[in-house]
A = this chain, B = another copy of it.
Amino acid sequence: MLKIAVLGAGGLGKAAAKIIGMKQEMRLVAICDQSGYAFNPAGLTCPTSLTGLTTPTENDSIGEIIKLRDEIDGIFIALPNLPNEFIPNVLKRFIEAGYRGVFTDALKRTGAMELMFELDKGLKSTQSTYITGAGATPGLLTAAAVIAAQSFVEVIKVDIRWGVGISNWEEYKATIREDIAHLPGWTVEKAKALSDEEVSKLLDERNGILELHEMEHADDLLLERVGVVDARDKVTVGGVMDTRSAKKPVTTTMTLTGKTFDGKISSHKFLLGDETTMAANVVGPALGYLKRAKWLNEHGIYGIYGSTEFMPAVVK
């Protein structure tokens, strides 16, 4: 039985609480967001326990979770990551506090993930194991690319195109700000500074649709790290988010194109069912990787790894 803390109580955090509640092998003992935290060693139930989060002393919910470190085996970081340094700094605090355990996240930006990998030494010093990029993209779809790559002696291109439909954008405010930051002419800082009203106005101007191309997504870093691609620009990520309908505007598809040993050019595809939500496709993998991180930790494998590792390897 893994005692889990979820950092972040937005759409993803709430879904995580709900899914953990359906599992025998995990128990949600703590959750927090910027407004407060909740802790119960016997298990928090969703959504009841999440409605009345305790306001922490000095307005530092993460600090309250760190104090509870001896009660927590594993942590899923479902916090929005604005700016890039935010989640890396949260992890630094756990390391400095000497927390020993396992972590996963649903981090997206390449720049942020580069900062995460710099914390490898610290995680090794505390005998902790961290799997980063364990959501949908990077995560589920990037892992599928590693599997697909096995048929080829050279990978020419990996293209990820996602579709997300959400009927109530208020639940995913932070995710939407992160996506706005990917629009041409926008930055993480500018998106973070938007008021809810400004987000609402921007969505109105676009009929609720955000279409994104050439996103800075860490799928490139993770696939380069294991040798699926020899250069990051061979990986492209884009997508369409409809903030006014739960129906996906496009089918989420990972297409890997490569050359086989006998000289054929071909593409493998991995398609997600349209009925599956972002929450299902992010939180499921994050918890699956958290269990894998525990297994690695029990085998003395510490430090930070990507969601593309521990799969069939790429032979160079």
Residues on A lying within 8 angstroms of B by beta carbon are 15, 18-19, 22-26, 134, 140, 143-144, 147-148, 150-153, 257, 260-262, 264-277, 279-281, 283-285, 287-292, 295, 299-301, 307, 310-316
Nearest neighbor of A22 in chain B, beta-carbon distance: B153
Residues from chain B with Cβ under 8 Å of A261 in the complex:
15, 18-19, 22, 279-280, 283-284
Residues from chain B with Cβ under 8 Å of A148 in the complex:
144, 270
Shortest A284–chain B CB gap in Å is: 4
Question: CA–CA, A290 to B312, complex, Å?
Answer: 8
A151, B285: Cβ atoms closer than 8 Å: yes
Residues from chain B with Cβ under 8 Å of A272 in the complex:
151, 266, 268
Residues from chain B with Cβ under 8 Å of A314 in the complex:
288, 291
Top 9 closest A-B pairs, CB basis? A266-B273, A288-B312, A266-B275, A291-B313, A260-B280, A264-B275, A150-B285, A150-B284, A269-B271
State how many copies of this chain the complex holds: 2
Residues from chain B with Cβ under 8 Å of A18 in the complex:
261-262
A23-B315, A260-B276, A260-B280 given. 9 additional CB < 8 A pairs?
A22-B153, A140-B151, A150-B281, A260-B275, A261-B280, A264-B276, A266-B275, A268-B276, A299-B301
Residues from chain B with Cβ under 8 Å of A268 in the complex:
270-273, 276
B288, A262: Cβ atoms closer than 8 Å: no
B270, A25: Cβ atoms closer than 8 Å: no
Question: CA–CA, A90 to B276, complex, Å?
Answer: 45
Q: A270-B270, A275-B264, A276-B264 are in contact. Are A310 and B310 (CB under 8 A)?
A: yes
- Identify A266's interface contact among B140, B265, B274, B316, CB under 8 A: B274
Residues from chain B with Cβ under 8 Å of A271 in the complex:
268-271
Shortest A181–chain B CB gap in Å is: 26
Q: List 12 A-B contacts (CB under 8 A).
A: A15-B261, A25-B316, A144-B144, A151-B272, A265-B275, A266-B272, A266-B273, A266-B275, A268-B271, A269-B271, A270-B271, A292-B311
- Identify A311's interface contact among B276, B279, B300, B311, CB under 8 A: B311
A25, B315: Cβ atoms closer than 8 Å: yes
Residues from chain B with Cβ under 8 Å of A147 in the complex:
140, 143-144, 147, 270
Shortest A5–chain B CB gap in Å is: 16
Shortest A298–chain B CB gap in Å is: 11
A312, B289: Cβ atoms closer than 8 Å: yes
A291, B262: Cβ atoms closer than 8 Å: no
B313, A288: Cβ atoms closer than 8 Å: yes
Residues from chain B with Cβ under 8 Å of A277 in the complex:
260, 262, 264
A312, B267: Cβ atoms closer than 8 Å: no
Question: CA–CA, A106 to B128, complex, Å?
Answer: 35
Question: Most chain-B CB neighbours within 10 Å: which of A22, A276, A287?
Answer: A276
Shortest A219–chain B CB gap in Å is: 14
A313, B295: Cβ atoms closer than 8 Å: yes
Residues from chain B with Cβ under 8 Å of A289 in the complex:
312-313
